[in-house]
Amino acid sequence: MKLGTGVFRNCIAALLFSGILLVPGAQASFRNDLGAHIFQYASEKAPTLYLSNKSIIETQSFLTKAELYFESGPRGAWTLDPDPIRYHFFLDDQKRTRVWAGRDHPLHLLEDRWIEPTSALGSVWVQNQLDALNPRVNGWVGAGVVHSFDENWKLVFTYSPLFLPTFGPSLGFSERGDLNPARFARLPPESVVTGGVALPIRYQLQVGQLSELLLRHQVFLGSSFSNQSTSLDFFAFTAPRPSAVPLTDATLAVGQTSVNANVRINPQFPREYWSGVRIQRKDIEFKPSLELLQNLEDYSHHLISLTGYFRAPSLAPGVTNLSPRASFGILTHLQKQFEAPQFSDLLLFLRVPFELTARLISRTILQSTLLPSKRSLYLMNELEYSIQTDFSILAALRVLAGEDASYFGAWRNQSSVSIGVKKLW
């Protein structure tokens, strides 16, 4: 279950984002993408308005990327998520030891490491899934250090006292226990059948003390080797499980006219211990990157991902301002059996930006889970035509399909077409 408590989520985000204003250093570079789209979902008659904004502010010692996302309508959602937002400095003149504080993924401090949700590590890491079809791996709020022993070997250490769970589309619990779910919320069981009688379920979320939920230690320790041909990371970390394990307690609520199953959900985030290895060969075709994650308490729980990278095809000579890298790969959790659909249900993915002309770019994302009985598909095709260098129009088609209990199949009525504009600064 994804925790989607809107107010809490956005307050945290706003607090972190406000850190931008406190950052010293006047030589800031700023980049902003603002998009406005109109979506027509297959499941709805009326179109919805969709706004997105991505701001990147970077100075010599400060970096933040803040994403704003808003969708109108009763099933819309919004988020403002500054990630990363970090301040860093070197302890020594040789710049061998870099210290950082703020919010970021520990491995992002290494060069050429960007943790995707399609990687083994990214799939067990805390994410922002509010934009469900475009999830992002989030960083930890804390501080860390990256020490370079030499040109090749580095040590990475991160500590976070504040746990932020994976944010997902809100279920919109009302006080009465009714749901007003966001579009991509994964809906919990609707009814319970007992003794041949189906009773509608009403949910109550019992979060308990926020301090107990949030103030949890998270530690990451890793070492990295990198040369021209290979990069190799070993790491281990402990953190609460990003997605909640719901502890439920059910009663029968007898009202004036009906009986409901009253399910109280107490989300639990049990601590997990992971170790992993990531190896990438940079000197061969597709620069394949292999990641292996092993849960240290449950040996049947491990994930593997293999990602290949290639240069985005281009029909336009010499112009590549956007998305130069394409990728493809596979992600699977191998042995472990999960009842709920997982992103890692033998996921095959392909991400291809394609410059058709200097002005027209096509972006294709294909993600498909192939586990038997959990097969599903997400296909996105977007065309962007640049009217000016800083202004473009877009059109996209998103197709979702799959079996009932599959990752994308749950959203199979959410296929959509959209058109929009984008402004860059």
Partner 1 sequence: MVKKSILILLIALNMTLSGCTVVKSVWHAKAPGRKTVVLESKPLPSFSKVFSENDEESQSTFQEWKNSILGSFRQIEGSTRDYLSRDEIRVLVKSGLVKLDENPSTSADRALAVLEILGFKDGIGIRELNALFDWIDSHKREARDFYHLFMSETYESNQIHARQIISVVNLFGSFVSLLGDQEVSAKHMGELILPWVPISHARARNALTSGIELGISFFASFCGDRVSQSSWNGKKIGNCLRSLTAEFESTTPAIDFIFGYRSPAEKPATLIRAADEFETRVRAWIEGHRHPLFPVRRVEQFSKDLSIPAPYAFLKLTEWIPKLNADSTLEGFSPRFFIELAGVMRTWINDAATASKTSKCETLENWKSCTFDGQYEPAAQLFNGEYATLIRTPTLGFVSKVALYHALSGFIFNKLDMEKTGEIGSRIKELISLSIRLLDSNAFTQNVIAALLEKPVELVNTEDSLKAHTRIGLSELAALAADLIPNRDQNGRTLLRKLQSQILGREKRMPYSMDRIGLTAFIYLFDLIGSMNMDYLSRYDLPVKTEGTLRYVNRRKIIQAFPGILFDHFPRIYNECVAWGFERTCGVVFNEILPNSLPGRDDLESYEIDVITLSAVLIESMMSRCDRNSDDVLSGNPIDGYDEKNCMITVSTALAKRLMNAGFVDQDHQTEFLMKLTNHFFVAKWAAKAALSRGTVKGIAWFALPAANWLTGAASLGSVMSVAAELMDPDKVRAVEAGTDGPIDSPGDELLYHNRLTDYHLPRPKKAPRYGSPSIYGEKP
Q: List interacting residues with partner 1 (CB under 8 A).
A: 42-43, 187-199, 201, 250-259, 262, 315, 356-357, 360, 362, 379, 381, 383, 397, 399-401, 404-405, 409-415, 417
Query: What's the closest the beta carbon of residue 279 comes to partner 1, in angstroms?
Result: 35
Give least dist CB 372 to partner 1, A.
17
Identify which of 344, 288, 282 has the alpha carbon closest to the alpha carbon of residue 122. 344
CA distance 88 to 163: 21
Q: Which is closer to partner 1, CB of 28 or CB of 259? A: 259
Structure-token pair, residue 390: 């800083």
The residue written with tokens 């620069």 in the block is: 287
Q: Least CB distance from residue 375 to partner 1, whole Å?
A: 13
Give least dist CB 370 to partner 1, A: 17
**1 versus 143: smaller Cβ distance to partner 1:** 1
Residue 284, classified by CB atoms within 10 Å of its CB into exposed (0-12), middle (13-18) or buried (19+), is exposed
SS3 label, residue 385: strand
- CB of residue 404 to partner 1, shortest distance in Å: 4
What is the Cα 49 distance to its own chain's centre? 22
Q: Which is nearer to partner 1, 184 or 237 (CB)?
A: 184
Least distance CB 184 / partner 1 (angstroms): 11
Element (H, E) at 373: none
Min dist. Cβ of residue 386 to partner 1 (A): 15
CA 16 – CA 83 distance, rounded (Å): 9
Q: Are residues 180 and 174 in contact, defined by beta-carbon separation less than 8 angstroms?
A: yes
- Closer residue to partner 1 in complex, CB, 143/410: 410
Among the listed residues 270, 282, 160, the one whose alpha carbon sits nearest the alpha carbon of residue 220: 160
User: Which are the contacts of 200, defined by CB distance < 8 A and separation ≥ 6?
Assistant: 190, 191, 258, 260, 261
Radius of gyration of the chain (CA): 22
Q: Which is nearer to partner 1, 207 or 405 (CB)?
A: 405
Pairing between strand 259-268 and 197-205? parallel
